[in-house]
Amino acid sequence: MKEINVGLVGYKFMGKAHSNAFKRVGMFFDCPVQINMRAICGRDEAGVSKAARKFGWDSYETSWEKLVTRDDIGLVDITAPSDAHKVIALAAAENGKNIFCEKPLALSLEDAREMLASVEKNGVAHQIGFNYRFAPAVRLMKQIIDDGKIGAIRHVRASYLQDFIIDPDFPLIWRLQKEVCGSGSLGDLGAHFIDLARYLCGEFKSVAGMQKTFIKSRPKVQSMTGLSASADAGAERGEVDVDDGTVFIAEFANGALGVFEATRFAQGHKNDLSIEINGDKGSLKFVFERMNELQYFSAADEPGLQGFRLIQASEGIHPYMSAWWPAGHVIGYEHTFVHEMFEFVSAIDAGRPASPSFADGVECSRVIRAVELASERRAAVDIDTL
């Protein structure tokens, strides 16, 4: 069996999710390659060495520069903060490594395009981490749309709602600093539903929107693990220079209209991603907090008996589910990462393009930039002008 040796940059929230995925792929799927977890990388030696032991990596590095030049690594997985994506990906590509990179692809559209150009020039495989594509219910949604069961798409509405930074004294984590994250709720949360909308409905044509920062300054961070952080009482405060909330409307190339909302100020919502698609023959709705379920309405049903039906996408006939448990035994968030890693290594083995690729990351960045410009100008922006 062929082997793929992996080096992972980052060991906290996404580092743990990706480590779990690499360990589980071969256990549950008929994976065409053997995945070897060669090295995990992080700047703090105490933290990364502990993660290496806990997550099952063969070794650790404190320098990503060293990691991407190691002869025993063929795939570099980037889960570091967004400001590090470009420099690591460019170096990895120049060293001939296949690359998986978390979203958003880069801090800017220009950087995203440079990353795409580099992987194409160097002929390496590349995939971006839009893991929600890989929920079985979303894959089923795609099948239903492609089969024409809901007909021509007329409306798309999506939202991603969280509430974890509502407290004005919540620390100034890196996700709230433009030089590190590139964009706030739009880039962090909105990137996911932008990708889902493109995947399910096609390309965006134009957008118009508004953005708002509700809390202008926050205490500087003392320490951070995952999405949790702490700050000294009465600590120096720093500026929040990204959006806390974004709303925008869109027109798609196929003529459909879209309404979108991303915020971290929706009290009571923890990780509430949803997308609904209305066609002239039916409708579909997916809510991630009930990720094994898909709601489907068909106008072809008998009059008087029409209504949204609830599909439990947890049977062996549903995408990916034959690899897991008996019908009705649901799966969770972490499984979406297993699915995307299975698809990536399978694509590498088959020599075919991976999906979603860095090209999808660029298109997502184009929409993000268009929304930002539309907010600044208070006017619609055509995507093809960027």
d(CA 43, CA 51) in angstroms, rounded, equals: 12
pLDDT of residue 233: 41
> What is the Cα–Cα distance from 195 to 142, expressed in whole angstroms?
13
> Where do you find CATH 3.30.360.10 in the chain?
133-332+341-354+364-377
Compute φ and ψ for 316, nearest 5 degrees: -60, -20
The CA distance from 368 to 374, in Å, is 10
pLDDT above 60 (res 279): yes
CA proximity to 39, closest of 11, 3, 2? 11
CATH superfamily of 2-131: NAD(P)-binding Rossmann-like Domain (3.40.50.720)
pLDDT averaged over every residue in the chain: 96
**CATH 3.30.360.10 given to domain 133-332+341-354+364-377:** yes
Region 119-140 average pLDDT: 98
State what percent of residues in the chain have pLDDT above 90. 95
* CB-based burial label for 20 (10 Å; 0-12, 13-18, 19+): middle
Closest residue by Cα to residue 115 from 99, 132, 133:
99
Beta bridge partners of 353: none
Q: Is the pLDDT of residue 226 over 60?
A: no
Per-residue pLDDT reduced to its tens digit, 78-95: 999 999 999 999 999 999
Whole-model pTM: value is 0.95
pLDDT band, residue 227 (cuts 50/70/90): low
Confidence of residue 222 (pLDDT cuts 50, 70, 90): confident
Nearest to 153 by CA among 248, 250, 247: 250
Percentage of the chain surpassing pLDDT 70? 97
Residues 151-205: tens digit of each pLDDT: 999 999 999 999 999 999 999 999 999 999 999 999 999 999 999 999 999 999 9
Give the residue among 344, 364, 363, 356 at the shortest CA–CA distance from 98: 344
What's the rounded mean pLDDT across residues 102-118?
Answer: 97
**CATH 3.40.50.720 domain position(s) in the chain:** 2-131
R_g of the chain computed on alpha carbons: 21
| Rounded CA separation 102/112 (Å) | 12
What is the per-residue pLDDT for 224?
Answer: 55
pLDDT surpasses 60 at 231? no
Please give the pLDDT value at position 1.
Answer: 82
For the cut 60, the answer to whether the pLDDT of residue 230 exceeds it is: no
- Give per-residue pLDDT as tens, 19-73: 999 999 999 999 999 999 999 999 999 999 999 999 999 999 999 999 999 999 9
